[in-house]
Amino acid sequence: MSAMTDVDGLSRVRTPLTWLYAPGDRPEIVRKALASGADVVIVDLEDAVAPHRKAYALDATADLLADPHPVPVHVRVHSPHDIPTLAPLPGLCGLRVPKVTHATDIHRIAALAPGLPLFPLLENALAVEHAYAIATAHPAVRGIALGEADLRADLGVREDGALDWPRGRVVVAARAAGLPPPAQSVHPDIGDLDALAAGCARGRAMGFLGRAAIHPRQLPVIERAYLPTPEEIDAAREVVAAAGTERGALALPDGRFVDAAVVEGAHRVLALAARTA
């Protein structure tokens, strides 16, 4: 991902907010995804590909990744057996590892793909219980996320709110492990953009950052939901300016208390604001 100059004058890496899935057995769809404006494209060799198409999907993805692309490309593997084919390819920027339940799963995958960033997907109750252990299992782990469709089935839940506790658990585990905030799981109804926006607003309030998508029309909705408002940008600028003139904890003219954690949060807001600068 390319560096950019932030609105507070700092050079930062563009923070990904949109992660677009595309089926690995449809190379033409993958190429459209690469031109969609998504921050990361995830080529899916798992749920999006029928069993009789798995071998073709792997071959097609290997052809695609023979060269690097301007957009980072990750692959959600179907099986560890996919990894030796994919790991050496110059176009591969990361592996999405489904159905991880233990830290030992990560050690096995890391041994097959030395140096590649890994993004475990937590898709059942046991994985959620082990969230922190998985997040800290290996230096190659660069992020964790929930796989909510499988988790719903595993837990037998029908109401969306029933997943709030696992969502909070994953947000806390990622933070405790020093990883970026997790991205939300996909919103499966590509026709209901209002529900997508509402879900993103709720996810942002819970501590998520960005969201996976299954159709390009979802991308601008996700990005708008996660970009800071003008009011948030103004407040962050005020905090950063105040922190630049005084050390330690301080109070702003409106009575807000500012410490190091608040200043760090303000810098994150300004880094996101730079996407539209």
Computed over every residue of the chain, the mean pLDDT equals 91
Write the DSSP symbol of residue 183.
P
pLDDT in tens, 167-189: 999 999 999 999 999 999 999 99
Interatomic CA distance for residues 140 and 83, integer angstroms = 15
Report CA 164 to chain centroid distance, whole Å. 18
Interhelix angle 27-34/54-64, nearest 10 degrees: 40
Interatomic CA distance for residues 146 and 6, integer angstroms = 30
3-state secondary structure of 119: strand
3-state secondary structure of 222: helix
pLDDT in tens, 34-81: 999 999 999 999 999 999 999 999 999 999 999 999 999 999 999 999
| 70 backbone dihedrals φ, ψ, rounded to 5° | -60, -30
pLDDT in tens, 203-232: 999 999 999 999 999 999 999 999 999 998
Write the DSSP symbol of residue 20.
E
Q: What's the pTM value of the predicted model, to 2 decimals?
A: 0.89
